[in-house]
Amino acid sequence: MLLLLSYLFIFCVGFGFFKLFNYFKKKYPNNEKVEKAASLILGIVAYCCYQVRNPVLEHTYGLNISSPFGDKIWMTTVGTLLVWFTYASTLLIVLYPFFKQIKNIKNLIKFFAVPVYILDIGFLLIYGISISGVYAFEMDKWHYLSTNKDVYIIAFKWLFLTLQLGVGIGYLFNQFILDGKNKLNKEYFKISKDELKVMAITIIPVLLAILPGFVVQVFFGEPGNTEIKFKGLTQAHRIVLYGAFVTPTIIFHCFKDKSKDIKKFAMIYLSLSVLWTFMSHYNFEDLLDPLCWPFHLCNTAMFIVPLCLIFDLKKLFYFTFFINVFGAFMAMLMPNTSDGNVFQMGTVTFFIDHYHAFYMPVLIVALGLFERPKFKQWKYSMVAFGVYFLAMIILNAWFTNYGDVDYFFLNSDFIASKLGEGGKALRDQTFIIFVGWRIFRFYPLYHSLFFIVYCILSLAMWFVYEQLFRMWDNNTLRRQKQKDYKRLQEELKTLLEGRNEDENMSGNNKACLELKEFSKKYGVNNYYSVYKASLKIEGGEIFGFLGPNGAGKSTIIKSIVGIQTITDGHIEVCGYDVEKQPVQAKKEIGFVPDHYALYENLTGREYINYIADLYGVSQEDRDARISKYVANFQLETAFDNQMKTYSHGMKQKITIMAALVHNPKVWILDEPLTGLDPNSIFQVKECMKEHAKEGNIVFFSSHIIDVVERICDKIAIIKKGHIETCVSLKELEKKKINLEDFYLETIGGDCEGK
């Protein structure tokens, strides 16, 4: 009778919720809050359904032992799967309005959640017994229950069970099965092969994420089978610990290249799944008893992680990163779960919960949903941990008067006993306060050392993670460079149209330097340091590059010589693309940086010969050039001495010689005259003129406008990443315009040093 009444009640609730939901959707057509509110109502009702009292399957060991269905294995199997799949379906439905942009969620609900809810109704008897027990739909036998409280619990279970199915079906019909005209949605069954494949793959982690501990126990947990010990780092214990590292690694590789929305949904779904299964251990009776509240440190991670993800609580997140991660790892090393069957629900849920507390904060940072913590966050987290630690000490002392509590193992010798006699001795130092009949017992020495050691170890853990993050960054950068290199090589083959890779793009070997819409952005900055810079310099020119500090001069020069990457656009040196043909382009360049770095234990001769070897300069050519430049720069007496004995000017001359030993077609100098004496400046200027007369390019940046005006053929002026002008000095001379005045007028008020 009650079963028929249940079907009637489900129909009425479903129809009523469908109409009510439809009414509000039409009244507020563009208001997404209506859909979110409806999904949250379903989540609340479902939670109440499971939390009035824990599902009876939690007390089932094996398919036909202690099962509410007796020896009917198929019923136990169907009931277990229905409860498990309904967990996943309900959570997907709750999250759908918040992540509607992810198409795969909609497909999962249409082709998984909808069938599951229909099966729940079709197998209502099995589903109800799996949750509420054998008396779920037998009101005439409720008098067999031991107490009136049990009768009320069964009644509430029935009420919330039917409400859940009614609200769920009403929501699904409104959102997915029917269209706006309350007719069967013609688009319902439309899904591409690719979408079907993605959905089929996705359903596996969706189910595993929300796996209740009783599922493993029901299918594999016969008493006396697979007895193991989880203490003393046994083989089984080590295998379980390895899983704590393997699991997040797999999850990370599955989502590292996905969009931020998908990453966020995956992490919220995973964290809420673990919270859902964690809270399944607590029924409403437990929550009414303060002694049962989940104040234990690892328990807090179940609540903190989803809260941080949903509401973007950064400060709270770093607390769980520094505190819960280390605490969960120590708990897995020293589990307080009982030895016994590896598939017992207590054992399974213990490690699932601590896996989550251990790897979720780190995984969230690795996926980029929160920034990597700095030392500052560690300090703030320790302050918050101090407050939490003190609160737990007080609660332990207070609640002990009413029952057995041991939050964070501060009230027992569980941790101290692992330290031998010394640890036990720490607890001998007690401090007792009497408040009325209540006794507040504290262990000041033990608690103080506990806190200090925990803080130190959490700092060490952060240091280790920081190193691992850096290693990962380096590996990621290396992999990205390999991908970029392969891409550039493919592009190069296309551009060369079958010609040899050592040939340039234009087929012209003349000296030429060209920037084509070149742009550079550093890291994750939103602004460009240089934006769409275009410039062309022909052989035989001395080209001056002017601009205020920070205007982008060094950025352009470093990109030309290959020190840093190109964000957009192209740079060509003598027809070679700097990005696609870096080696060939560098062979045509001689570079004098603004801050040189020499192997100063070498002599000048040894260093220049070393550079000549790198460029493959013949012995005859290098000897001729070395003799020439040693004479020009007056280095005869010092050339065979170690460079650490050289003055600044002498080292600068060696740097210039190293840039010219292979006779480059493009000679680039970044502030080459800084710190040189007048005689050395004259020598460098003469060297520039001579190199340009041979048909080569001399491209240099300088703040000394007088020098630029005397020796340059052309100049370009850059301001805030934009090349403002490119002009011949002869044109300025014809117009009788002074270069300094022209420069100041071009850059406006953006003078040097500002």
The Cα-based distances of 506 to 159, 495, 496, 499, 501 in angstroms read 80, 10, 9, 11, 12
Q: What is the spatial distance between Cα 45 and Cα 47, in angstroms, rounded to a whole number?
A: 5
At residue 486, does pLDDT exceed 60?
A: yes
In a domain, 693, yes or no: yes
- pLDDT band at residue 139 using 50, 70 and 90 as cut-offs: low
What does 114-156 look like in DSSP terms, one character per residue? Answer: HHHHHHHHHTHHHHHHHHH-TTTT-GGGGGGSSSHHHHHHHHH
In this structure, are residues 611 and 635 in contact, taking their beta carbons and an 8 Å threshold? no
pLDDT, tens only, 191-200: 889 999 999 9
In a domain, 575, yes or no: yes
Q: What is the spatial distance between Cα 314 and Cα 325, in angstroms, rounded to a whole number?
A: 16
pLDDT value, residue 20: 93
- pLDDT band at residue 385 using 50, 70 and 90 as cut-offs: very high
For the chain, the average pLDDT equals: 87
Number of domains forming the structure of the chain = 2
The answer to pTM > 0.75 is no
Q: What is the spatial distance between Cα 590 and Cα 615, in angstroms, rounded to a whole number?
A: 10
Range of 55-59, 93-97, 666-670, 732-736 with top mean pLDDT: 93-97
pLDDT value, residue 340: 53
Please work out, in degrees rounded to the nearest 5, the angle formed at the alpha carbon of residue 718 by the alpha carbons of 658 and 660: 10
Higher pLDDT pick, 66 / 626: 626
- The dihedral through the CA atoms of 332, 337, 338, 339 has a sign that is negative
Q: Percent of the chain scored above 90 by pLDDT?
A: 43
Lowest mean pLDDT among 53-67, 115-129, 437-451: 53-67
Higher pLDDT pick, 492 / 297: 297
In a domain, 250, yes or no: no
Helix/strand/coil for 433: strand
Q: Per the structure block, which two tokens stand in for 740?
A: 């300094």
DSSP structure class, residue 321: I
Final residue before a domain boundary, out of 194, 223, 252: 223
At residue 498, does pLDDT exceed 80?
A: no
Region 217-238: mean pLDDT is 69
Q: What is the spatial distance between Cα 558 and Cα 562, in angstroms, rounded to a whole number?
A: 6
In this structure, are residues 495 and 503 in contact, taking their beta carbons and an 8 Å threshold? no
At residue 221, does pLDDT exceed 90?
A: no
Final residue before a domain boundary, out of 180, 199, 223: 223
- The dihedral through the CA atoms of 664, 669, 672, 678 has a sign that is positive
Higher pLDDT pick, 654 / 674: 654
- Tell me the CATH number at 609: 3.40.50.300
CA dihedral 338, 340, 344, 346 (to 10 degrees): 0
Higher pLDDT pick, 478 / 134: 478
Domain range for 524 is 512-747
pLDDT value, residue 754: 32
- pLDDT band at residue 144 using 50, 70 and 90 as cut-offs: low
In a domain, 391, yes or no: no
In a domain, 367, yes or no: no
Q: What is the spatial distance between Cα 168 and Cα 373, in angstroms, rounded to a whole number?
A: 41
**Residue 161 C-alpha from the chain's centroid:** 39
Backbone angles phi, psi at 573, to 5 degrees: -120, 115
Q: What is the spatial distance between Cα 751 and Cα 754, in angstroms, rounded to a whole number?
A: 6
Tell me which long-range contacts 121-126 makes (C-beta under 8 A, separation of at least 24). Answer: 121/7, 121/10, 121/165, 121/169, 123/78, 123/79, 123/82, 124/3, 124/6, 124/7, 124/10, 124/165, 125/3, 126/69, 126/75, 126/78, 126/79, 126/82
Region 248-252: mean pLDDT is 92
pLDDT value, residue 752: 43
- pLDDT band at residue 10 using 50, 70 and 90 as cut-offs: very high
In a domain, 619, yes or no: yes
Q: What is the spatial distance between Cα 632 and Cα 344, in angstroms, rounded to a whole number?
A: 86
In a domain, 107, yes or no: yes
In a domain, 623, yes or no: yes
pLDDT value, residue 751: 47
pLDDT, tens only, 399-427: 999 988 888 888 888 887 777 777 778 88
Final residue before a domain boundary, out of 205, 223, 241: 223
